[in-house]
Structure 1
């Protein structure tokens, strides 16, 4: 893909505003907004798209830096936005992010996006095209195509400061793992395991058959956004949408960025070249396996292969396990010693040793645990003040300083390929349930099962099972 796609909604306003903002970066705020404004070099004016849930905590953390002002709030659900509106009463409130950017772009320096996964890419790309810095919650996007588009947009708009909201990437843990590996402590890594006890919401179920009336405070059509038109159902909002492919990305989308980020950083991974998966079954009767293609499965085991990098001597195999599935305990770990953090973890296997960590790469440990008292390596990497909590201030400071002036933990150059990896894993998971009617008219074949999918990174497609490529890039609903 050679060009970043234009946002399909309100193309004219995006084009016009992009031209108007082409030379805009950091200028005195009074030039744009009259007397009484402070300069953006002193205070960052942020528009929060998604003001409830994680969005609520994100914008609160930006404000806590003392160097950002929450100038605008946008949410499709007044109930979810209520706390943020109370906390930031001076912030003008919108329900439609497109209208907010169209009307207020001259008074916005940066945009935070914390919506359901299916609506991440569009506002982020529109903001970048207008020269606004962007902070996007994990996973960066819903589709592989969108992740590649935002990665390329970050290159196309070099003055835009980008950060993904996997705050654990600012923890000390990943830096300790990098220092151990760079010092040769465990030798050359060839295999990595990442696992989680998620999902903690329903998956492997049928879509509800009973339609409900949307709450008066919710604009259901705006919540759907890019997704197909569908009747509102109960128990989807605010959390369970994660288990439905139209809106979420399952356990991989929820935890993949927190667990796979450390291997990406430690081993300098980029794009995988093959993937295979098996998924948990749900039986609805005797010998009758349920078929729920709209829903993510209850569990999965995915194996990704990455080409060798400058930091490895061979290809790397990465295993992902969710739904409570865990790898075999390492022999070096004692019977009563905790594996990962109990429910989640990361394990690196090298030719001279092993190391593991918990969620967010917290609590990194060499194996056997006695090595942690025996091994000392120099600190070569700067730490982020405040660690995970400092992830927000790191982005704010970078926006104020100007692109390229300070180091970020999860810029789109890293977050894009990382997101593509977990979404590629989802390709194999979704491919596992592809049905193909048999020529006899009796039953179905499942061509995605028992197969390794081969990935052409330049063409962004699976080369040996074309049917699965429908999930690389979805069609947006008309008007989006």
Structure 2
């Protein structure tokens, strides 16, 4: 059984699940504990591929103690337990939050996309800081609800876009905001990855693996029979009920720097050129065009075009490189009134192009130090920034107030994929499309499980 859950009543879901009553009244003040010189106690929900990477990065901070681990797959859970033998283990995040309310200080959510909001909202209702993987949510209404709750409770939050803290991306942000190519009128961004599926949905069912709690894996999503190879452990990103396609995976990373550098809000119109919807999987190829209101770094309007699928975008004069060079596999190109800036993804320095030639840039004056090409060291900065903020040292750079707007932008492009070749008009103030038929996809159906 499922029902429509809106941004207004998501907290009802938390309360009716039996966890909303726990709140701060039953938990010692994190600030008081930290003032007493205690360490940050973390709970980790989701321990698959990215979950293990998150666990490794968070726990590498010298003041972190991992006290709780949760995964619906017992194999994942066992692997994490070997690394943190003193941590309590759970397969249901609701039980973890209920049982450990007084014993955790921060929560890391690294589940498939459809569980990001339910798990994060429960943790935040208990006044716990949350680090949540990207994209922040599966639905637009969830992104707004998470931002609202985090703001109301003044919680430390961070979305898991670790390249946000990388040298090359910070450099590109400073360059754009310095006006190195003047006001930007167009951004083109691309990824060859294909987190889409153009085939039919599966028929029949397969036995659920002994290590997997299929009911808990589905969580609030609509119930389906298990089918090997379609969902767990790796292909859920392709499926509408669970993921957000390539936009929700690589799009968040590649959008992040232009979005941040140009200080964008959400778009006014969205057009997705893709195949007709199947109701099951995302399109394997998307060309999404967004029109944004202007900012101090852009022209009166900003055009943004996203390409994903089998390769780099088709040849366009905006994307011609000097000396006949080939575009990097993934990246973004800023077009401004005084030239272009190429930003490969990732750990490659941005390059300025004027009149078809590369132009040297003075980056020493920006005081970023020497370029860094160390993924392990660079990625940990983003995680440690969250831990430090929880400890009262500094702030995060991708809090939910920022992440919610970026995620909303991404998800509007995902929704536009259900209406191929049709321009959708977004009313940010009302949080509605002018095209009423599109509004049904702003929310999800939360199943009782």
Out of 361, 385, 394, the position equivalent to 2:385 is 394
Out of 284, 291, 300, the position equivalent to 2:286 is 300
Please give the alpha-carbon distance, in whole angstroms, between the structure 1 residues aligned to 2:389 and 2:221: 33
Match of 1:379 in 2: 366
Equivalent position SS for 1:15: coil
1:314–1:391 Cα change, 3 Å: same
Q: Is the 8 A contact 2:165 2:381 kept in 1?
A: yes
Please give the alpha-carbon distance, in whole angstroms, between the structure 1 residues aligned to 2:17 and 2:175: 51
Equivalent position SS for 2:447: coil
Please give the alpha-carbon distance, in whole angstroms, between the structure 1 residues aligned to 2:207 and 2:339: 57
Does residue 96 of structure 2 align to residue 100 of structure 1?
yes
1:40–1:174 Cα change, 3 Å: farther
Please give the alpha-carbon distance, in whole angstroms, between the structure 2 residues aligned to 1:245 and 1:78: 25
1:476–1:2 Cα change, 3 Å: closer
1:360–1:142 Cα change, 3 Å: farther
1:40–1:325 Cα change, 3 Å: farther
Match of 1:26 in 2: 31
Please give the alpha-carbon distance, in whole angstroms, between the structure 1 residues aligned to 2:44 and 2:262: 34
The TM-score normalised by the length of structure 2 is: 0.91
Equivalent position SS for 2:30: coil
Kindly tell me the number of residue pairs found equivalent between the two proteins.
Answer: 436
Provide Cα deviations, 1:235-271, integer angstroms capped at 9, x if missing partner.
0211111100000110001111100001111100011
Does residue 409 of structure 2 align to residue 421 of structure 1?
yes
Q: Is the 8 A contact 2:41 2:66 kept in 1?
A: yes
Q: CA deviation at 1:334?
A: 2.2
Q: CA deviation at 1:24?
A: 2.5
Deviates more, 1:93-102 or 1:358-367: 358-367
1:193–1:202 Cα change, 3 Å: closer
Q: Is the 8 A contact 2:196 2:285 kept in 1?
A: no
Structure 2 residue runs without a partner (length 5+) = 1-5
Please give the alpha-carbon distance, in whole angstroms, between the structure 2 residues aligned to 1:21 and 1:309: 45
Please give the alpha-carbon distance, in whole angstroms, between the structure 2 residues aligned to 1:373 and 1:98: 54
Considering only CA atoms, is the larger Rg found in Structure 1 or Structure 2? 1
Q: CA deviation at 1:182?
A: 2.3
Match of 1:133 in 2: 129
1:58–1:296 Cα change, 3 Å: same
Q: For 1:332-343, list aligned pairs within 5 A.
A: 333-339=321-327, 341=328, 343=329
Q: Is the 8 A contact 1:42 1:400 kept in 2?
A: no
Please give the alpha-carbon distance, in whole angstroms, between the structure 2 residues aligned to 1:362 and 1:280: 33
1:410–1:21 Cα change, 3 Å: farther
Please give the alpha-carbon distance, in whole angstroms, between the structure 2 residues aligned to 1:268 and 1:219: 42
Q: CA deviation at 1:153?
A: 1.5
Match of 1:45 in 2: 41
Q: Is the 8 A contact 1:52 1:83 kept in 2?
A: no
Please give the alpha-carbon distance, in whole angstroms, between the structure 1 residues aligned to 2:322 and 2:360: 16
Q: CA deviation at 1:376?
A: 4.6
Q: Is the 8 A contact 2:312 2:330 kept in 1?
A: no
Q: CA deviation at 1:141?
A: 0.4
Match of 1:89 in 2: 85
The TM-score normalised by the length of structure 1 is: 0.85
Out of 439, 443, 459, the position equivalent to 2:430 is 459
Please give the alpha-carbon distance, in whole angstroms, between the structure 2 residues aligned to 1:474 and 1:130: 23
Please give the alpha-carbon distance, in whole angstroms, between the structure 2 residues aligned to 1:174 and 1:316: 20
Match of 1:230 in 2: 224
Match of 1:55 in 2: 51
Out of 11, 16, 20, the position equivalent to 2:21 is 16
Out of 324, 342, 351, the position equivalent to 2:337 is 351
Please give the alpha-carbon distance, in whole angstroms, between the structure 1 residues aligned to 2:17 and 2:25: 12
Out of 316, 319, 323, the position equivalent to 2:302 is 316
Match of 1:221 in 2: 215
Does residue 224 of structure 2 align to residue 257 of structure 1?
no
Please give the alpha-carbon distance, in whole angstroms, between the structure 1 residues aligned to 2:218 and 2:177: 45
Q: CA deviation at 1:421?
A: 0.4
Deviates more, 1:360-369 or 1:260-269: 360-369
1:41–1:57 Cα change, 3 Å: farther
Q: Is the 8 A contact 2:352 2:360 kept in 1?
A: no
